[in-house]
Amino acid sequence: MTAKDPRAAALAALAALLADETRAACLLALLDGRAWTAGELARHAGVAASTLSEHLGKLVAGGLLAEERQGRHRYVRLADARAAGLVESLAAQTPAPAGPPGSLRESSTRSAMARGRTCYDHLAGRLGTAVTDALTLRGLLRQDTGFALTEAGVEWFATAGIPLDLSSRRPLARACLDWTERRPHLAGAAGAALCRHALDAGWCVRIGSERAVKVTAAGERELAARLGVPPDALR
């Protein structure tokens, strides 16, 4: 008899964690990179707090979420960038929503999320892929053998005033499959640093209650000047 691969049971357990709509809704919401209370997630998923608590316990035990308590509140967030990448990559494999949006609000949310959003701690949507394409076109990022910043790319980050932690064990550059664009955008330490700088410097601002972001007029000017990204690609 052929010995069973010990990874098979672990993979099946992970798949079972994701095979629930309520847990999937929580994971997608937490892609905004922030910590949510159990109550916030319960309202978002449309379930009772007691039901949500059971789901969160399974996700924490499965290593997809991390939790912390402050007073009476229980906060949860995605465990790490790998968990976020897994959720985003799986979302990219799902079919696009069937039929037209059910309301004007849903239509606006879909458009905003597709235009630009955060994926855990880096930029995604058309914004994320436009920046990734610009970095690649200028020889700052290589994609031929996986994502990697070139020497010119590292220098570009320094010149732009975006510090990179070159001693981190986290990959400097990593490809993350974008679930709306269906092609990769920049993740890893460099992607996180760029996203953080874009928000801190006012290149982008968060909009609405989702993880959508909007490029400001100042951001359009900076991205055009520094990377040659045409403003029309960001709107």
The two tokens of residue 141 are 């990022």
pLDDT value at residue 136: 97
Ranked by mean pLDDT, which of 44-48, 116-120, 131-135, 143-147 comes out on top?
131-135
Q: What one-character DSSP code corresponds to residue 163?
A: -
pLDDT value at residue 219: 96
Same domain, 214 and 101: yes
Is 36 among the domain residues? yes
- What residues does 73 pair with on adjacent strands? 70
Place of tokens 């499965």: 62
Is 1 among the domain residues? no
Is 227 among the domain residues? yes
Q: How far apart are CA 54 and CA 8, in angstroms?
A: 25
Residue 125: give the domain boundaries: 88-234
pLDDT tens-place string over residues 102-129: 555 555 677 888 899 998 899 999 999 9
Q: How far apart are CA 10 and CA 21, in angstroms?
A: 20
Q: Is 162 exposed, middle or buried (0-12, 13-18, 19+ CB in 10 A)?
A: middle
Flag whether pLDDT at 54 surpasses 60: yes
Is 229 among the domain residues? yes
pLDDT value at residue 208: 74
Number of domains present in the structure of the chain: 2
pLDDT tens-place string over residues 58-106: 999 999 999 988 877 788 999 988 898 888 888 888 876 655 555 555 5
Read off the CATH number of the domain in which 18 is found.
1.10.10.10
Global pTM?
Answer: 0.75
pLDDT value at residue 93: 84
Write the DSSP string, 199-228.
HHTTSEEE-SSSSBEEE-HHHHHHHHHHH-
